[in-house]
Structure 1
Amino acid sequence: MGKVYFVNGFLDAGKTTFIQDLLEEDYFEIKGKTLLIQCEEGEVEYDDYLLNHLKVTVKKIENEEDFGTEHIVEFEIEVMPERIIVEFNGMWDRKNLVFPEHWDDIMEIVIIDASTFEIFAANMKSFMSEHVRKAYLTIFNNCDDVMDKMASYRRSVKAVNPSLNIVCKDKHGEDILQKFEDDLPYSLDDEVIDVRDDKFSVFYLDSLDNLDRYLGKKIVFTAQIMKAKEEGKDIFLAGRFAMTCCEQDISLFGIICHHSGTDSVENDDWVEITGTVDKEYVKQYDVEFPVCIVESIRPCDKPKREVISVI
């Protein structure tokens, strides 16, 4: 089976427009047929001439219970496509969705209307989280009037899926190239950057995306100790638990620390750490992660709020 493009998002976020624009791109052209499974209809309709010209067959699924392996395989047998595009219904359950076993190359893409993100995030946070949890790419549409909030929106989805790729577009569908350096709750120019409490979630997520701008910077943060079972290693994990969706959806935001005095701390201890940010290559994930070269560590009281929020 060829590639499957699974496009998710709430109604009127721009899924149909995205798919139609994608089909028109030269790099997306194929010789065979495309099966387009449409699970909801918004204000924008597909251009019939365009679909016929590009050999796209549209099959509709109107009820959530009908989005199952047997029904999908029937479509495949009828159309014999080279690839499949799914325009999913954003109000259907993504969390427990089961794909056909032969779908071994799935790219999940989430379309979000930035102008209504706050409303959906506040009232349907669990749905929003499941949209982005396994996605490769998120596209924020209509960012023009909310660019001052995009850094916060970006962190919200990154907290659920740190490896998520994010693209911002204006109301005309053009890419907005934007750096988010100025929307941090601390200054990168401070002699010691204070990332205690909720600011630690901002530092953690931003350092995963922009590691180079933290290299050599001194930070201070409060965290809980999580030591490895092996004795004699001058290394431990220090982190905070963060609520990324709801009370049932807690993630660990942790940074690897190098310190010669690990015998002075134990598992679950709360400490205040001051150290310098460095980077370390992790072969398993083929990526460089931030680490902290600890300069000082001192015991401290447990915070009143152990679980931090994602700002």
Structure 2
Amino acid sequence: MSRKKLPVYLFLGPLESGKTNFIEKIVSNDKFGLDKNILILVCEEGETEYDLSKFGDKNITLHIIDDIDELNAKSLDDIAVTKDIDIVVIEYNGMWHMNSLIANMPENWGVYESVFLADASVFEVYFQNMKSIIIDKLNVSDTVIFNRYENNEEINDLHRIVRSVNRRCKIFYCDDRGVMDPDDMKDPLPFDIDAETIMIKDEDYAIWYNDIMNEAAKYQGKTVRFKALITSRPELPKNVFAIGRYIMTCCEADMEFCWLLSLYNRYYPLEDEKWVSVTADVSVQNYEKQNLDVPVLKITDLYECEPPKEPIATF
């Protein structure tokens, strides 16, 4: 017998960013989870503890996970089944990587909404000191909320940091009164997405890769041309390649090969990675569990070329 599908509301961000208070406001709202059994998984305990009296008559199960080893599909499924849970709310540990959660969620759990919260007054310092862990969360966020925002914080800098990682999320600035102002700044792409063939300049690869991974659906049926490394991988079948470039966000320590699954219907012998110019049609596959659209390239033209002037891509 298959389990009922459970929507997961995911709340991310550094310690003391206001996640607990925000979750209390969301869950206590009369319209949230009416007549449903709600599980709140707390993976990070800050100074603020949950006040269950704020939830009124709602059926709330509060479960605390102190150690990342406790984060496994069987134990989570046991809790959900025992309590007949309908909705899952997760306050995730700001220092744990997202893969640890996604890989260990029960199959019938699917992320419905992910919200990243941060203290506007210290966010830039956090970002500079813990860039990779912050990017890990921003990448999957549907909404970013800057708490404790005052007019002396520089919106342009906060906006720039978020958009360098995630171009699809909504951004809000919330002051101490609880008033939330939306970010309406425009972010034009440095390439023409409506062109017959979308031409990606070497210096724009990181921005394009971030955009297609965050908003894959808008590339469905589009044709793109760019320069990248082509390499084979043991886990990929014949005539399927990884095509991408190394992207550096801040330093060599966080440099990563960012690639796309690429299908080529011609025989192409490849013993080592090579620089190539690629023209490809984009198709999109949806993975429901992660609420994720994944772009797949169907190569129509490929030839070897010289590497870019700057082989490592940056934002």
Shift of 1:139: 2.3
Q: How far, CA to CA, are the matches of 1:218 and 1:80 in structure 2? A: 47
Structure 1 residues 129-168: aligned runs within 5 Å: 129-131=135-137, 135=140, 137-142=142-147, 145-157=154-166, 166-168=169-171
- 2: distance between equivalents of 1:8 and 1:147? 22
Residue 147 of structure 1 and its aligned partner are, at CA, apart by 3.6
C-alpha separation between the residues in 2 aligned to 1:13 and 1:242? 28
Provide the identity percentage: 23
Give the number of the structure whose alpha-carbon radius of gyration is greater. 1
Task: After TM superposition, give the deviation of residue 126 of structure 1 in Å.
Answer: 3.6
Residue 184 of structure 2 aligns with which residue? 178
Take 2:60 and 2:46, find their aligned partners in 1: how far apart are those partners?
A: 19
Report the Cα offset of residue 168 of structure 1.
0.7
What is the aligned residue count? Answer: 288
Change (3 A) 1:33 1:248: same
Q: Deviations over 1:233-279 (max 9, x none)?
A: xx998642224686466233459799x9x99x997443567x8xx96
8 Å contact from structure 1 (residues 225, 238) kept in 2: yes
Q: How does 1:49-60 map to 2 (within 5 A)?
A: 49-60=53-64
**Residue number among 101, 118, 124 corresponding to 1:118 in the alignment:** 124
Q: What is the deviation of 1:105?
A: 0.9
* Matched AA of 1:87: E
Aligned partner letter, 2:258: L
Pick the aligned partner of 1:86 from 87, 90, 95: 90
CA distance, structure 2, for counterparts of residue 71 and residue 210 of structure 1: 33
- Provide the secondary structure at the position in 2 that maps to 1:53: coil
User: 2:39 is paired with a residue of what secondary structure?
Assistant: strand
Residues 266-303 of structure 1 deviation map (CA, whole Å, 9 limit, x = unaligned): 97443567x8xx96444677777788987x97833x34
What is the TM-score when the length of structure 2 is the normalising length? Answer: 0.62
Relative to 1, partners in 2 of residues 1:26 and 1:255: Cα closer, same or farther, differing over 3 Å?
A: same
Amino acid at match of 1:51: F
2:24 aligned with 1:20, yes or no? yes
Aligned to 2:228: 223
Go from structure 1 to structure 2 and tell me whether the alpha carbon gap of 1:126 and 1:151 turns closer, same or farther (over 3 Å shift): closer
For the residues of structure 2 that align with 1:248 and 1:55, how far apart are their CA atoms? 43
With over 3 angstroms needed to count, the CA separation of the structure-2 counterparts of 1:79 and 1:139, relative to structure 1, is: same
- The partner residue of 2:207 within 202, 209, 214 is 202
Please, which runs of 5 or more residues in structure 2 have no aligned partner? Answer: 288-292
1:114-172 Cα offsets, whole Å, 9 max, x none, are: 73443223222343344356x463423247732454244233257xxxxxx52211114
Distance 1:147 1:239, change over 3 A: same
| Alignment partners' CA distance in 1, 2:217 and 2:61 | 44
Shift of 1:113: 1.5
Deviations 1:217-241, CA, capped at 9 Å, x for gaps: 997x5433569965xxxx9986422
* TM-score, normalising length: structure 1: 0.63
Mark the CA change 1:279 to 1:170 in structure 2 (over 3 Å): closer, same or farther. farther
Contact 1:37 1:85 in 2 (8 A): yes
Over the aligned positions, Cα root-mean-square deviation in angstroms equals 5.2
Q: 1:80 to 1:99 in 2, by over 3 A?
A: farther
Query: Could you tell me how far apart the structure 1 residues matched to 2:271 and 2:75 are?
Result: 54
